[in-house]
């Protein structure tokens, strides 16, 4: 990743769930990114006055995007770069529609928030979400008439603080007759729960603002990382090539983002920045040992086992299923044979089935199995840096060792551990602990490379640092692996 700009939402994303506190881990991650020359920005639905106490905690912050993209500020020059406002005449027409419904709403204008007297009288803890009331109560200004306040000028945003799903549909339909606008929600509405509705100029959204800022800096979407949790974050999550929805985020955000990260309360912003941006976060030299799975991690071999299973079942007029593959993938061959016999009532011995499997795969391993991209070079780098290596595999000795020798990496390993030695699959950390013991190292001194979520999860329980390795066979678990592992790579070349 060549990240040059990081933009994050505030509520539900950069702040913890009290909507007030920035976790120290997030502050430190943003500061470090800034010190690396990366531009850092806040992109919030709040107006400027509602962000001032937060930006004071981030004196290094470069840019502030407010009101869902209506205003963009350069915090280094203390100047507004641009604003995209709802025109005065349109604003007045929208006020009239909302007043007919008797809805509670606020407007953002000139960096502050206002309500007319009718809305202000309804602004109580009983009528709005508690965190919204706590946030706004000290900043809302009451005015008799909003049109008089605007005095011919445009407004940044209008926020209906509480309405039903039916009211939202009706309001959007009526307001759309006035002109083109952006509609979004920062906390969800459904048929059973009221929420809010934010109305801005059609070009006033976080995606448009982040895109414009990136272009002004000479950047493309490839250089941008964004974080968000709500519907009003979707446009920037769609724009950035490196976008993250929070684990606590809405379905809208999760569908728009390229990846998921931890929740806001678990400092998901900081964790993703550390994982994907900070190169030193991946400093392999801090480890004394590296433990590798073989199939799907070092060896591009998982297709071989699928072909073996397919042929084995064909010979018996049976059909291999994805469920079967999923269950046996963590087992050594003898255990898989026992399961197969019991599952399909096959009248053959464990030894006969294992022998057949080995016969089917032996030649293919020698002739058709390649190393994963960059694996050889990466292992040489580890060896040259004095990092001891072991492999921990559910495969069989007779199959894998000749393949490792063919690719000239067998002698690089200091030791190895086979699942068949302990009869415990990779759903438990025992195989990795055995490998570490044979290396003469503690688990905390080792990093485990794995392509399956079961192995990564159990290795973490064993106190290992983990690195997920992409493989087509486990692509369905890719996002879960990314969220679980300490690191994630598509290719070992990323670590060279």
Cβ contact 195:213 at 8 Å: no
Cβ contact 215:209 at 8 Å: no
Q: Is residue 355 part of a domain?
A: yes
Tokens for 273?
């920045």
Cβ contact 440:446 at 8 Å: no
- Could you tell me the residue range of the domain that residue 48 belongs to? 5-78+206-279
Average pLDDT (388-393) is 97
CATH code, domain carrying 130 = 3.30.1240.10
Cα–Cα distance between 421 and 22 in angstroms, integer? 49
- One domain for residues 293 and 415: yes
DSSP assignment of 426-459, as one string?
TTSTHHHHHHHHHHT--GGGEEEEESSHHHHHHH
Last residue of a domain, one of 201, 222, 248: 201
CATH code, domain carrying 24 = 3.40.50.1000
Cβ contact 98:146 at 8 Å: no
Average pLDDT (314-338) is 84
Beta bridge partners of 228: 245
Question: φ, ψ for residue 464 (rounded to 5)?
Answer: -90, 150
Last residue of a domain, one of 185, 201, 217: 201
For the chain, the helix, strand and coil percentages under 3-state DSSP, each to the nearest 5:
50, 20, 30
448 or 231, higher pLDDT: 448
Q: How many CB atoms lie within 10 A of CB 486?
A: 19
What was the pLDDT predicted at 174? 96
Q: Is residue 83 part of a domain?
A: no
Q: What is the arrangement of strands in the sheet containing 195-201, beginning at the earlier edge strand? A: 141-143, 112-116, 105-109, 157-163, 195-201, 181-184
Cα–Cα distance between 299 and 295 in angstroms, integer? 5
Residue 44 has pLDDT above 90, yes or no: yes
Tokens for 251?
């379905």
Residue 279 has pLDDT above 80, yes or no: no
What confidence tens digit (pLDDT) does each residue in 58-90 have?
A: 999 999 999 999 999 999 999 999 999 999 999
What confidence tens digit (pLDDT) does each residue in 88-115 have?
A: 999 999 999 999 999 999 999 999 999 9
What was the pLDDT predicted at 280? 45
Cβ contact 246:13 at 8 Å: yes
- Mean pLDDT, the chain, whole residue set: 91
pLDDT band at 459 (very low <50, low <70, confident <90, very high): very high
What was the pLDDT predicted at 398? 77
Return the axis-axis angle of helices 430-439 and 453-461, rounded to nearest 10°: 60
What was the pLDDT predicted at 94? 96
pTM: 0.60
Cα–Cα distance between 176 and 222 in angstroms, integer? 33
What was the pLDDT predicted at 414? 97
Q: Is residue 405 part of a domain?
A: yes
Last residue of a domain, one of 163, 181, 201: 201
pLDDT band at 310 (very low <50, low <70, confident <90, very high): confident
Long-range contacts of 59-62 (CB under 8 A, 24+ apart): 60/30, 60/31, 60/34, 60/35, 61/30, 61/34, 62/34
Tokens for 415?
């030791």
Residue 191 has pLDDT above 60, yes or no: no
388 or 333, higher pLDDT: 388
Q: Which residue has the tokens 């000139």?
A: 110
Residue 163 has pLDDT above 80, yes or no: yes
Q: Highest mean pLDDT range out of 35-39, 333-337, 478-482?
A: 35-39
Residue 475 has pLDDT above 70, yes or no: yes
Q: Provide the number of structural domains found in the chain.
A: 3
pLDDT band at 189 (very low <50, low <70, confident <90, very high): low
- One domain for residues 265 and 252: yes
Residue 433 has pLDDT above 90, yes or no: yes
SS3 423: coil
């Amino acid at each position: 990743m060549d990240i040059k700009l990081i933009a994050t939402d505030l509520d539900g994303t950069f702040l913890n769930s009290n909507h007030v506190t920035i976790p120290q881990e997030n502050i430190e991650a943003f500061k470090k990114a800034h010190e690396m020359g990366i531009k850092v920005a806040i992109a919030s639905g709040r107006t400027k006055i509602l962000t001032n106490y937060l930006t004071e905690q981030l004196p290094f912050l470069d840019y502030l995007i407010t009101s869902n993209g209506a205003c963009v500020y350069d915090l280094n020059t203390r100047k507004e770069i641009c604003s995209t406002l709802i025109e005065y005449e349109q604003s007045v027409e929208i006020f009239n529609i909302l007043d007919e419904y008797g809805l509670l709403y606020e407007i953002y204008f000139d960096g502050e928030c206002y309500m007319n007297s009718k809305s202000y009288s309804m602004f109580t803890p009983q009528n709005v979400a508690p965190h919204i009331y706590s946030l706004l109560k000290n900043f809302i200004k009451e005015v008799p008439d909003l049109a008089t306040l605007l005095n011919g000028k445009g407004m940044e945003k209008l926020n209906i603080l509480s309405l039903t799903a039916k009211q939202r549909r009706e309001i959007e339909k009526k307001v759309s007759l006035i002109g083109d606008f952006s509609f979004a929600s920062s906390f969800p509405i459904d048929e059973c729960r009221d929420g809010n509705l934010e109305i801005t100029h059609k070009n006033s959204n976080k995606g448009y603002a982040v895109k414009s800022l990136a272009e002004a800096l000479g950047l493309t979407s490839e250089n941008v990382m964004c974080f968000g949790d709500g519907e009003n974050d979707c446009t920037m999550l769609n724009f950035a090539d490196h976008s993250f929805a929070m684990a606590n985020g809405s379905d809208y955000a999760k569908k728009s983002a390229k990846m998921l990260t931890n929740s806001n309360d678990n400092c998901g912003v900081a964790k993703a920045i550390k994982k994907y941006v900070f190169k030193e976060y991946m400093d392999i030299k801090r480890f004394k040992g590296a433990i590798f799975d073989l199939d799907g991690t070092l060896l591009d071999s998982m297709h071989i086992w699928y072909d073996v299973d397919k042929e084995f079942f064909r010979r018996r007029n049976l059909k291999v299923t994805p469920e079967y593959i999923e269950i046996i993938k963590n087992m050594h061959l003898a255990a898989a044979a026992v399961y197969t016999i019991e599952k399909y009532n096959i009248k053959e011995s464990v030894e006969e089935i294992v022998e057949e499997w080995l016969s089917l795969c032996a030649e293919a391993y020698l002739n058709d199995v390649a190393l994963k991209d960059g694996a050889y070079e990466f292992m040489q780098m580890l060896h040259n840096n004095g990092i001891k290596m072991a492999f921990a595999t559910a495969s069989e000795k007779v199959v894998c060792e000749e393949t490792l020798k063919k690719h000239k990496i067998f002698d690089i390993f200091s030791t190895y551990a086979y699942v068949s030695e302990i009869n415990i699959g990779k759903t438990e950390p025992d195989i990795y602990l055995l490998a570490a013991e044979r290396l003469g190292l503690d688990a905390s001194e080792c990093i485990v490379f794995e392509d399956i979520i079961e192995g990564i999860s159990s290795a973490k329980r064993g106190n290992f640092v983990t690195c997920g390795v992409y493989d087509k066979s486990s692509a369905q678990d890719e996002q879960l692996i990314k969220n679980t592992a300490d690191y994630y790579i598509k290719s070992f070349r990323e670590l060279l």
